[in-house]
Amino acid sequence: MKSIAIRNISRCSFHQHYLKRCASLRQFSTGQDNVERRVQKNKNHHQRSTQKGRPNRQEKTQQQTNSPVDYIHQNNFHNGRDANENQLSKSQSTLSKCCDIMTGLLKRRQSLPPPPSMDWIFSSPTLPDQLEREKEQWKTRIELYKDIVSLTQAIDLSVNANRLQASSGRDIRDVTDLLGNILLICSETPPKRLSLVDLPSTSQTCIKILSILEQLNLDVQNIHNFLSIRAANQEHDWELSSRLFCKQIDPDVNGLVPVDTNLGGDRFLEIGLYGLAMDLNNRVHDGVDVVEGVLNAVRDMCMVSPTDEEKYMIAAGSALGRAGHWKGCVDYISKTNNASELGQAFFAAMLNACYICEQYDVVLDLYNNMRYNFETGGGDWQWEGEYARCHPLCLDIILRTVGLGLMDKDENQGFSSKGATSLFHQITDDGGRISKQAIRGVLYACKNNADFEKALEVLEKLESYDQGGNCEWIVVDEDTCNFLCENQVPPSSSLTKEKVIDDDVIATVMDTCIAAGEYGLAIMTLRMTRSTAKNSSFNFDNCKDNSMLESLMNWQPQLCQKEALLNSTIMALTGLQCFQDARDLLSSAKDEHCFPTILNKMEAINMNISWNEAYRNMDRLLYAADCLKRSGHTISREEKYNLSLATALMLRCSINAGQVNAGLEVAKTVIATFNCRSATRSSVKEKMKSFFGFSDEDVGADDQFWLLSDELYAAKLSAYRVKYGVESALDVYFSSNDNTHTKTVSPKNSNEGWFNTVNLVLEMLIEKGDLERAFTYFERMHPADRGPGTYISIANAYKDLGRFDKIGKVYMDAKKAGLLSENLCLCAMEAIVRGNHQGKIKLLRSIVNDIADVKGVKPGKWIVDHYWTIKHCLGFHFARLLMWWNDPNETKSMEYRLAVQHMEYRKKQSLRIETDALMCIIKLAEDQKLDVNESSDPFHPPSRVFDSLIILSESQCHDKTNLLLEGLVYLLKTRSTLLGMRYLEYIETNQVTVDDKVSDLARSVANCVEGSSVMN
């Protein structure tokens, strides 16, 4: 007798469970050895049959082409035996023929691909699209089912005629295998409502098989019920499905036998509960009653196996969700007083039901209700010996819901990036499990709030996970079985095989940066993520100065083929005003025609030159860091110092480009490399630690890097100043000392000063307005760390407070140190004028002599060169006295001539002309004598006024309009028609923007008409 060749039919997911239970249930095949022995036995039996007059091989082959019924019943007793032969032999002969037929049917089944696990259950009564695509496969399955129907009819006739019995243990097993395989093929057959064939439905065939089992007094096992329920669900025979499932879980019928607890949409537990839910839906109209009926079934199963309550509850939620009863779940929670007694698994099941029905707003409402309302069970939940705030499945569903809801509606839904990342960190810090869709949900929440810092935190953890870091948390698929408390280690099949960071993740983080206006950070995210250097040796010569696009294409070769990455990169480049780079990138893309609007709007130039310089330094620094990381090279002290200088330069360039966050992110990567490759002995000098007041415990790994050089630490403070503000930058600097205003700010025995750092700190103290603290800081500064700018800053601070007496001491200290500057001298001169001093002009001339000696010029020459600045700071009176203009009657003429000389000299040198000089020419022109011969007089007032008008028209002077009107009025009074025409032609030809009053008055001058209304 041949065995049932079933060993290779485990391709279907639901049949894996079937095979797993074969050993305990004694079902189906017994292995390859038994098959071979039975095949040999049948060959011997065939030889004996041929000798006794049985049909030969050719005849038997011809008989096998007939229907199974004909083959079983044809000449059963026409082989020389009398009618009184043993009935057992008849039964064995019939069973053998049935097994032969089943062997052939199973071979035909093995040639088919696995059937869809759930599609046939949820498909509409019309023919699905896949029927058109897979006609041959459906046709083969229908033909196979036709033979199964014929075989079932033959078996039924044989059982009724007592020709097929199960009297011995071996026969019992073979008959059970035979009938079980019929149920298996029925469950894999397209339902009649889809195939529309003129055959009994698969559920009717299953009922017939179950009745045969009962008729033969054989046990109806779990797998029989599972296959029958599956077939009934596919036929939408909900009453049969519900009846079989309720019978299976009834302890009065089947005893205290636990139900199979494997979770999944194609597993017995969820398929049975789904059939029950659909049957209740047809019989009752209230969704709460449906939920109550399903939960009652869960309670019945828990009575047999209380330890499996969580699985039963989760499966119930999945079944209710697939049945569409999310509203009933919500109503059940609100109407049932004892909902909290069902525990966190109950809420996880209800959330899952709403999630399956895509009711994302309802999911968030239920979650918030669970968290904040203790009466609905929002307390702690014990998981793996510890207490957690929420069931693991709840957390994952919430994060998935946030992402999917934002994609559908593009709105916040009351769930911020802070809340999403908090849940993400809770999962990862606790060593939990998270699905990839939940990770996307976190990133979408960050994108919605433009929270690039949170998005980068998540990206950093994902990079560590992909690189095989020491992460206790794992990424799994979305199957509910991966989030149960008993699964300490999910099966390997549940773990994600590909990297978590894909193009969609990178593009989402880039979009988050773009939404926050951090375009440079978006580009650097693209550059730094998943970067792999081709050269592992530490060689700076390998770092070529490629353009930004060449660099990005080297690190992301698939950039032009990935639409999400391409769109994000184009947006970032456009935000950086790198229009030419954006056009070039689009030209390299295969789908360039998809972006005609963007191409037309872009200028063919790069406006942000400073960003290109910043990116060049960032790229070189990242390349060097990557080479260091891969080479295993231990950085020497000199290399560390050079690395610090390069980082400082990069930070300064990023600040100048307005992309400070991009610079800090690159510096963060460099610090990680530095910490990885630093020598075991500290490279930070003891004088550096004492300089900043650090103890050995205070200097962390990051601080060691920042303290490598004065340039680097000053660049860090400048970056913090731009990003966080002056106060935060000062807090970073002073955080190591409680008594901050008395901090020792300079090493007394240091050959290497910290000039840039301490002067920047002084500047920030003054900017903050904490002047008393700034004065104290200045007093305690080491003289080596003071420069001309130091004295200027502190002098201006004293001037703002009106403490002019202190400025004199600052001036004398700077003079003693040889650090005088023009700005400091002007500040000291202003302090003398505003202060209560005797002999002010004498003191002013003394300061002029000091600065003239420093500059190497005569005092009179210095005064003339800086007359307009001196006049602005000291006033006309003291400026006149310093110029030795003692006769008041000649003062205006002398100043006018000085202004004209200043304008002519500056024009020749292409230097900026002082506005005060132009104002002087216009206002004093009326007091000057007019020479008839204009060409012979370089100080001719109308000509010089005309020159002043031309210069003022292109300037941004705050009193520009009034000065232009005043100058035109003078030209009108002097009847300078030609000059008026030339000025009008100038503003019209060069499209100079001036006030309408100015243009009207210019026309009046050109026409020699009194413009009284304008003049007034």
Residue 848: pLDDT band with limits 50, 70, 90: very high
C-alpha 675/C-alpha 782 separation (Å) is 32
Return the bridge partners of 435, or none: 476
Question: Would you say how long the chain is, in residues?
Answer: 1016
pLDDT computed for residue 234 by the predictor: 83
Most confident region among 169-183, 668-682, 851-865 by mean pLDDT = 851-865
Q: Give burial (CB, 10 Å; 0-12/13-18/19+) of 817.
A: middle
pLDDT computed for residue 1003 by the predictor: 87
940-942-945 Cα angle (round to 5): 105
With a cut of 60, say whether residue 540 has pLDDT above it: no
- Mean pLDDT over 765-775 rounds to 90
- Mean pLDDT over 778-796 rounds to 90
Most confident region among 122-136, 646-660, 723-737 by mean pLDDT = 646-660
Residue that the structure tokens 């011997």 belong to: 44
Written as six digits, the tokens of 16 are: 């894996």
Of the candidates 50, 52, 74, which has an alpha carbon nearest to the alpha carbon of residue 62? 74
> Quick one: what percent of the chain has pLDDT higher than 70?
74
Residue-wise pLDDT for 928-940, tens only, equals 776 655 556 778 8
**979 contact partners, CB below 8 Å, separation of at least 6:** 942, 943, 945, 946, 971, 1005
C-alpha 434/C-alpha 429 separation (Å) is 12
pLDDT computed for residue 532 by the predictor: 37
C-alpha 12/C-alpha 9 separation (Å) is 7
pLDDT computed for residue 564 by the predictor: 87
Looking at per-residue pLDDT, the higher value among 479 and 763 belongs to 763
With a cut of 80, say whether residue 942 has pLDDT above it: yes
With a cut of 50, say whether residue 1011 has pLDDT above it: no
Distance of CA 431 to the CA centre of its chain: 21
Residue that the structure tokens 């440079």 belong to: 520
C-alpha 484/C-alpha 345 separation (Å) is 9
Between the CA of residue 212 and those of 178, 208, 284, 328, 731, what are the distances in Å? 11, 6, 33, 39, 85
Looking at per-residue pLDDT, the higher value among 593 and 805 belongs to 805
Between the CA of residue 159 and those of 163, 165, 617, 733, what are the distances in Å? 6, 7, 87, 93
Amino acid at 114: P
784-789-790 Cα angle (round to 5): 55
- Mean pLDDT over 455-463 rounds to 91
pLDDT computed for residue 912 by the predictor: 87
- Mean pLDDT over 848-857 rounds to 92
With a cut of 60, say whether residue 443 has pLDDT above it: yes
Give phi and psi for 386, each to the nearest 5: -125, 165
Give phi and psi for 520, each to the nearest 5: -65, -40
Residue that the structure tokens 């469950």 belong to: 187
pLDDT computed for residue 530 by the predictor: 64
Determine which of 133-137, 378-382, 515-519 has the lowest per-residue pLDDT on average.
378-382
Question: Is residue 431 left, alpha or beta, with left meaning phi > 0 and alpha meaning psi from -120 to 50?
Answer: left
pLDDT computed for residue 828 by the predictor: 92
- Mean pLDDT over 633-643 rounds to 82
How many other C-beta atoms are found inside a 10 Å radius of the C-beta of residue 82?
6
**722 contact partners, CB below 8 Å, separation of at least 6:** 655, 660
Give phi and psi for 75, each to the nearest 5: 55, 40
Written as six digits, the tokens of 369 are: 């209700």
* C-beta separation of 171 from 165 below 8 A: yes
Q: Which long-range contacts (CB under 8 A, 24 or more apart) does 132-138 make?
A: 137/112, 137/113, 138/190, 138/195
With a cut of 70, say whether residue 67 has pLDDT above it: no
Residue-wise pLDDT for 234-249, tens only, equals 888 888 888 888 888 8
Complete DSSP assignment for 529-591: TT---S--S--GGG-----HHHHHHHH-TTGGG-HHHHHHHHHHHHHTTBHHHHHHHHHHSTT
pLDDT computed for residue 602 by the predictor: 55
Of the candidates 348, 352, 347, which has an alpha carbon nearest to the alpha carbon of residue 325? 352
Segments in 632-754 forming alpha helices (H): 637-656, 660-677, 686-691, 701-706, 710-724, 726-734
Determine which of 105-114, 266-275, 400-409, 987-996 has the lowest per-residue pLDDT on average.
400-409
- Mean pLDDT over 517-542 rounds to 67
Looking at per-residue pLDDT, the higher value among 43 and 713 belongs to 713
Looking at per-residue pLDDT, the higher value among 747 and 996 belongs to 996
How many other C-beta atoms are found inside a 10 Å radius of the C-beta of residue 788?
16
pLDDT computed for residue 1012 by the predictor: 39
Residue 723: pLDDT band with limits 50, 70, 90: very high
Q: Which long-range contacts (CB under 8 A, 24 or more apart) does 200-206 make?
A: 200/149, 201/235, 201/237, 202/145, 202/231, 202/234, 202/235, 203/228, 203/231, 203/232, 203/234, 203/235, 203/237, 203/240, 205/148, 205/149, 205/152, 205/231, 206/231, 206/232
Looking at per-residue pLDDT, the higher value among 439 and 752 belongs to 439
Q: What's the chain's average pLDDT?
A: 76
pLDDT computed for residue 933 by the predictor: 55
- Mean pLDDT over 517-524 rounds to 93
Between the CA of residue 372 and those of 363, 375, 379, 592, what are the distances in Å? 14, 9, 9, 51
C-alpha 698/C-alpha 552 separation (Å) is 39
Amino acid at 26: R
C-alpha 311/C-alpha 318 separation (Å) is 11
Segments in 430-485 forming alpha helices (H): 436-448, 452-466
Determine which of 739-743, 829-833, 944-948, 974-978 has the lowest per-residue pLDDT on average.
739-743
Residue 980: pLDDT band with limits 50, 70, 90: confident
Looking at per-residue pLDDT, the higher value among 868 and 29 belongs to 868
C-alpha 721/C-alpha 725 separation (Å) is 5
Pairing of strands 433-435, 386-388: unpaired
With a cut of 50, say whether residue 71 has pLDDT above it: no
Predicted structure pTM score = 0.75
Question: Is residue 720 left, alpha or beta, with left meaning phi > 0 and alpha meaning psi from -120 to 50?
Answer: alpha
With a cut of 80, say whether residue 743 has pLDDT above it: no
Written as six digits, the tokens of 192 are: 């009649």
**776 contact partners, CB below 8 Å, separation of at least 6:** 741, 742
